[in-house]
A and B are shown apart, each in its own frame.
Chain A
Amino acid sequence: MWIRFSSAEVRTIAHYLGVLVLGVAALMLVPLFTALFLGEWGPALDYLIGASVAAAIGVALMLADVGRPQLSLRQSLIVSALAWLGAASVGAIPLALSGNYGSYLDALFDAMSGFTTSGLTVVVDLDHMAYAHNMWRHLTHLIGGQGIIVAAISLAVALKGGAFSLYLAEGRDERILPNVLHTARFIWFVTTVWVVSGTTVLSVVNWFSGMGAVRGLLHGFWLTIAAFDTGGFGPMSQNALYYHSPWVEGALLVLMIAGTFNFNLHANLWRGDRMEVFGNIEARTLAANMAICVAFVAVSFGVGQMFATDAEVWRKGVFHVISAHSGTGHQTLYPGQWQFFGGTGIIALVLAMAFGGMVSSTAGGIKSLRVGLILLSVVHSIKQAISPPSAVVRLRFHHLTDRFLTPEIVASAFTYFALYILSYATGGLVTAAYGYDAGAAIFESVSAAANVGLSSGITSASMPGGLKVLYIFQMWAGRLEYLSLITLILAVILSFTRRMGRAQS
């Protein structure tokens, strides 16, 4: 039976949403100080206005309920769903003021793309964007990739009343450490180690390539968080291609794989349990899928002969498969070079994007654990079919611990699989209905819904407004893995029907 929300519950949800919006306002101080440090006075004003408006909205929402009430899991799902929309809505304000976006909708598109670590962009004249705005765009990847809730838990601790249920609602299903606060801080520790290492390597490469000290450091930092948080934004319009450096691409490849790794797996490896990665069903599935996709791209390259040198095999082929599979979206192609991948290569990339990375990581898509469990259930069905009728077939798998494959686990995996496929197909159909090529339409739809960010060329400032709204919704829904969003939609519908019922009586 569905339970409708009371006004007290709505106030509770508003309170926690206000805390998160206030957190976003505080984060805008980073680009504000960046602007002040670098003498970008116009952008500094943009962030002063943006942070003030966000703070005002956040405080107003918090005042809806001042008692710091406890959150139920159902309420947490709605807070989680609205947190991404709220963060993107206020995060878009300084971007809209920047002059690099045609409208607030365009700025909202990029803010949602940033927070959901998608990487699709409709920015105009990116190559001349202020440092402060690029800092904010990439910062949205960092916060969104770790999880808005995780960021809030680890920093504010103002969510004490519902920290664990919020953590679950954000799609992180397992605690790495017994305490959810410690888990959130461990996630930040892993991220810090990788970001510091990646930034150091990429900054040095940039300096050797002739970039100035500050510019090289900032580009190194932005590329690192865009890769590790599987976002895919870049400070230049040519994305990773701009650097023309195998060293940059090599570092990005390592960072993208690290970013798509389950934080639980990071924890196990950092505890010294090195064999976990070789036995884990999720790691095995991800490695096998990546290898299969690379193989198909290699076949396509071999047949097409457009990318046929040794360097192109990994700088174009392997790079884009890892970029797609990890849900990052970094590109090293000139516009129009997608055709060099051929039909087989493009299908392999679409499958890589659709499958996505690991659960409890910064990646999107169906997730390798679910793909692995579905494949295992197929094996189970075949074994059951060829066994005697009286035989009971039970399959085990290893994911952090040994488990049996149960109907509930399989049903859960298939449910998420079906929701993603539905989203991919719907987005593709609607895009094609706008007159775009069917292949490009499905590519773009999967890229948005799986939070990847590779673009077949459809996403641009000049695309129809309806498509922008559709992709914003797909990016939002894909990041939430649908459950929070379905709960939110049902809650709104039920509240509406209750009011209708009252009005009629």
Chain B
Amino acid sequence: MERRHHNPYRHWASGFLFEVALFVAFLAILAGGALVIMRAVG
């Protein structure tokens, strides 16, 4: 509980950039996987 109430503004910039990188990586994995599956089926 103590940890959860730490100031979320302190690292907001690095947190935001981490989120962007995470989402881009996730999308790349999805797109890559979809491409492999489509080619395997087609």
Q: Which single member of A268, A270, A290, A401 contacts B16 (CB below 8 Å)?
A: A270
Other-chain contact of A271, B8, B31, B38 (Cβ < 8 Å)? B8
A53 at the interface (CB under 8 A from B): no
What 0/1 pattern do residues 141 to 165 of A give for CB contact below 8 A with B? 0000000000000000000000000
Instruction: Choose one: A186, A272, A298; the contact of B41 (CB below 8 Å).
Output: A298
Which chain B residues numbered 26 to 42 have a C-beta less than 8 Å away from chain A? 26-27, 29-31, 33-35, 37-42
A303 to B33, CA, bound (A): 16
Q: Which of B1-22 contact A (CB under 8 A)?
A: 3-12, 14-16, 18-20, 22
Q: Does A294 lie within 8 Å of B19, measured CB to CB?
A: no
A270 to B15, Cβ gap below 8 A? Answer: yes
Contacts A291-B30, A295-B37, A313-B38 given; does A401 touch B4 at CB 8 Å: yes
Chain A: which residue is nearest B27 at the CB level? A253
- Is the Cβ of A258 less than 8 Å from the Cβ of B19? yes
Min C-beta distance of B41 to chain A, whole Å: 3
Q: Which of A277, A290, A305, A318 has the most CB of B within 10 A?
A: A318
Return the contact of B9 from the options A189, A250, A274 (Cβ within 8 A).
A189
Question: Cβ of A393 < 8 Å from any Cβ of B?
Answer: no
Contact residues in A for B22 (Cβ distance below 8 Å): 277
Interchain CB contact under 8 A, A303 and B19: no
Contact residues in A for B16 (Cβ distance below 8 Å): 193-194, 197, 270
Contact of B34 with A271 in the complex, beta carbons under 8 Å: no
Contact A298 B35 (CB under 8 A): yes
Inter-subunit contact A318/B19 (CB<8 Å): no
Say whether B23 contacts A318, CB under 8 Å.
no
Size category, B interface: 20 to 34
Q: How far is the CA of A288 from the CA of B30 in the complex (A)?
A: 10
- A358 to B30 alpha-carbon distance, docked (Å): 19
Interface string of A263-298 (1 = CB under 8 A from B): 000111111111001000000000100110011011
- The answer to whether B20 touches A254 (Cβ under 8 A) is yes
- Chain A nearest CB: distance from B38 CB in Å? 4
- Bound CA span A495–B42, Å: 62
Q: Once the chains bind, are A269 and B19 in contact (CB under 8 Å)?
A: yes
Given A269-B18, A302-B42, A318-B30, verify A186-B8 contact (CB < 8 Å).
yes
B6→A287 contact, CB < 8 A: no
Candidates A261, A287, A302, A321; contact of B37 at CB < 8 Å: A302
CB nearest to B1 among chain A residues: A401
Q: Is the CB of A298 within 8 A of B33?
A: yes
Do A257 and B26 contact each other (CB < 8 Å), given the known contacts A270-B11, A271-B7? yes
Docked-complex contact A294 and B11, CB < 8 angstroms? no
Asked whether A173 is an interface residue with its Cβ less than 8 Å from the other chain, the reply is no
Question: Which one of A253, A298, A310, A321 has the greatest number of beta carbons of chain B within 10 Å?
Answer: A298
Tell me whether B35 and A267 are in contact (CB under 8 A).
no
Chain B residues near A194: list those with CB within 8 A.
16
Residues of A within 8 A of B (CB): 176-178, 186, 189, 193-194, 197, 250, 253-254, 257-258, 261, 266-274, 277, 287, 290-291, 294-295, 297-299, 301-303, 305, 308, 310, 313-314, 317-318, 321-322, 400-401
* Among all A-B residue pairs, the 3 with the closest Cβ atoms: A302-B41, A270-B15, A302-B42
Besides A189-B12, A271-B15, A298-B41, 6 other A-B contacts (C-beta < 8 A): A178-B5, A270-B12, A298-B37, A302-B42, A313-B31, A313-B38
A-B contact pairs, 17 of them (CB 8 A): A177-B8, A197-B16, A253-B23, A266-B8, A267-B8, A269-B18, A270-B16, A272-B14, A297-B34, A298-B33, A298-B41, A299-B37, A302-B41, A308-B42, A313-B38, A314-B31, A322-B27
